[in-house]
């Protein structure tokens, strides 16, 4: 087995236990098996960039991290990644910011990562680069002479061509993807948009999974990420989950709970969700005191203005809805700005009659899969899912809705609350089958196999 080098903005530490995402779990297993290494930003800011690499080993996973300067964080992470690419790739060109400094900082930090990774790379290593923070990294590594297999996975949507062209130097950025051997997306829709851009905007060609530009052929594939299903099912039956479930149930006093769990991000559609729920309250005065929406929304990317704005909007909206509908002994929305470890989240999901997952646009959305996996098979809750989440392409037995429509959301909540046990079980079983079949290990192996094959394509190209 070749050694795996994973490179991503954030590096997860396995010993943090309950706070780990499925991605971290899957990659940690592969890194352990191959005695690989995970490279990324430490999350720390240093006065002057030194390039010094901090090596650590955490539960058998080796990590190599670097500190960044304040200007790097401003221009690369807060700037180009989260003020430019994130909104644009989530179709929000109205709030995307285009500044030369951001682009410069993004390229500078990617070059810092290339300089960090390069001396660690051995000829047989397989490299796997993750997400929109690191798009040009592969090209920078090729320029340093590395001929290894290098894959790239985009965890967020790929926007339609007519939106992508609003990015200054868009083709320069997209061209860098042709340094990779395999480029992965969560869904066929994002893949299709990528192919469309390459054909229409750059004059490239597409032949099945092979996409060619200027004599370079890469494999571009759709490969949806999954969760660590066995681990999550076990967590939902574990002690921490049971304790949390009991605590939540007691507080509900027999009311049906609707749960939302999202980073506090405008792409997650929280404003529209609150409005949809308010519409449900307006349409169903008889059910008022029988439901509670628990919205868990840990703050995210707080240095970015659009995130400060959505936070203020939601504070006001939750207050307004609660003010309008609350009674002395009932509050319709519990709005919680703190995060929970995943083993406790599993208990919260299990206590909820409805999982309300309504992003306006989302690469995948793992919360939707976790909600389903945490349910009691004998009495499962109902998932209401935005048709604009990547997860909707797999979880077709959820109640799929348009998150922009308060009426659709209101109707779906009513339908979910009334749904007979047999239908709930049937829908849950169908979703669970996919979640278990296409779990995170499946995702990792499927991508790794493509990367293995890709090398056979790459060699003749370079001969």
Ligand X SMILES: O=c1ccn([C@@H]2O[C@H](COP(=O)(O)OP(=O)(O)O)[C@@H](O)[C@H]2O)c(=O)[nH]1
> Which positions lie near ligand X, rule CB under 6 A?
19, 21, 261, 263, 296, 298, 339-340, 342, 345, 364-367, 370
Could you confirm whether 362 is annotated as catalytic? yes
Residue range at the interface with ligand L263DTV3 (CB under 6 A); choices 141-149, 311-319, 356-364, 379-387: 356-364
H or E element that contains 57: strand 54-58
Interface residue with ligand L263DTV3 among 85, 183, 264, 364 (CB under 6 A) is 364
Residue range at the interface with ligand L263DTV3 (CB under 6 A); choices 63-71, 251-259, 339-347, 364-372: 364-372
Interface positions, 85-144, toward ligand L263DTV3 (CB under 6 A): 131
The DSSP symbol for 463 reads: -
Could you confirm whether 170 is annotated as catalytic? no
Our CB check for ligand X shows the closer of 274 and 340 to be 340
The count of residues interacting with ligand L263DTV3 (CB under 6 A) is 13
Binding mask 247-286 for ligand L263DTV3 (x = CB under 6 A): ----------------------------------------
| CB of 177 closer than 8 Å to CB of 381 | no
DSSP string, 275-294: HHHHHHHHH-GGGGGGEEEE
Our CB check for ligand L263DTV3 shows the closer of 109 and 248 to be 109
Interface residue with ligand L263DTV3 among 151, 363, 380, 381 (CB under 6 A) is 363
Residue range at the interface with ligand L263DTV3 (CB under 6 A); choices 200-208, 363-371, 375-383, 452-460: 363-371
- Reading the block at residue 130, the tokens are 């993750």
Going across the sheet that includes 182-185, the strands are 54-58, 61-69, 37-46, 4-10, 126-130, 149-153, 182-185, 216-222, 210-213, 205-207
Choice among 155, 262, 265, 397 that is catalytic: 155
Q: How far is the CB of 223 from ligand L263DTV3 (least distance, A)?
A: 11
Choice among 228, 262, 362, 439 that is catalytic: 362
Long-range contacts of 230-236 (CB under 8 A, 24+ apart): 230/439, 231/25, 232/22, 232/342, 232/346, 232/370, 232/373, 232/374, 233/373, 233/374, 235/18, 235/342, 235/343, 235/346, 235/374, 236/346, 236/347, 236/349, 236/350, 236/373, 236/374, 236/375
Q: Strands (DSSP E) along 159-266, which ranges? A: 182-185, 205-207, 210-213, 216-222, 256-261
Sites of contact with ligand L263DTV3 (CB under 6 A): 10, 23, 131, 155-156, 225, 300-301, 362-366
Active site residues: 155, 362
């Amino acid at each position: 087995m070749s050694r795996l080098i994973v490179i991503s903005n954030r590096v997860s530490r396995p010993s943090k236990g309950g706070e780990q995402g499925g991605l971290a779990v899957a990659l940690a297993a592969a890194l352990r098996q191959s005695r690989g290494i995970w490279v990324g930003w430490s999350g720390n800011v240093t006065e002057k960039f030194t390039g010094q690499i901090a090596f650590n080993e955490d539960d058998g996973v080796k990590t190599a991290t670097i500190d960044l300067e304040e200007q790097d964080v401003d221009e690369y992470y807060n700037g180009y990644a989260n003020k430019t690419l994130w909104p644009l790739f989530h179709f929000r060109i109205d709030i995307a910011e285009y500044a030369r400094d951001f682009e410069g900082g993004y390229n500078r930090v990617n070059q810092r990562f290339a300089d960090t990774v390069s001396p660690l790379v051995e000829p047989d290593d397989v490299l796997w680069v993750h997400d929109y923070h690191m798009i040009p990294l592969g090209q920078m590594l090729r320029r340093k002479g590395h001929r290894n297999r290098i894959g790239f996975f985009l965890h967020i949507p790929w926007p339609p061509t007519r939106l992508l062209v609003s990015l200054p130097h868009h083709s320069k950025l997209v061209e860098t993807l042709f340094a990779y051997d395999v480029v992965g997306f969560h869904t066929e829709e994002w893949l299709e948009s990528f192919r469309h851009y390459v054909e229409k905007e750059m004059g490239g060609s597409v032949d099945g999974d092979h996409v060619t530009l200027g004599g370079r052929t890469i494999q571009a594939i759709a490969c949806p990420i999954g969760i660590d299903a066995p681990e999550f099912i076990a967590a939902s039956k574990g002690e921490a989950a049971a304790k949390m479930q009991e605590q939540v149930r007691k507080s509900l006093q027999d009311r049906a709970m609707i749960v939302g769990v999202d980073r506090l991000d405008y792409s997650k559609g929280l404003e529209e969700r609150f409005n949809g729920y308010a519409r449900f309250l307006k349409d169903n005065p008889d059910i008022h005191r029988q439901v509670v929406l628990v919205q868990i929304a840990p703050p995210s990317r707080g240095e970015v203005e659009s995130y400060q704005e959505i936070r203020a909007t939601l504070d006001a909206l939750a207050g307004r809805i609660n003010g309008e509908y609350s009674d002395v002994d009932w509050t319709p929305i519990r709005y919680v700005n703190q995060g929970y470890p995943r083993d406790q989240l599993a208990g919260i999901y299990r206590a909820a009659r409805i999982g309300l997952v309504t992003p306006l646009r989302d690469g995948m959305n793992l919360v939707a899969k976790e909600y389903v996996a945490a349910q009691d098979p004998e009495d499962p809750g109902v998932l209401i899912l935005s048709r604009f989440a990547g997860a909707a392409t797999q979880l077709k037995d959820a109640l799929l809705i348009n998150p922009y429509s308060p009426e659709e959301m209101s109707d779906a909540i009513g339908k979910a609350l009334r749904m007979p046990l047999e239908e709930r079980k049937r829908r849950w079983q169908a979703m669970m089958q996919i979640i278990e079949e296409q779990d995170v290990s499946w995702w990792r192996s499927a991508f790794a196999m493509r990367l293995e094959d890709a090398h056979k394509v790459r060699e003749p190209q370079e001969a």
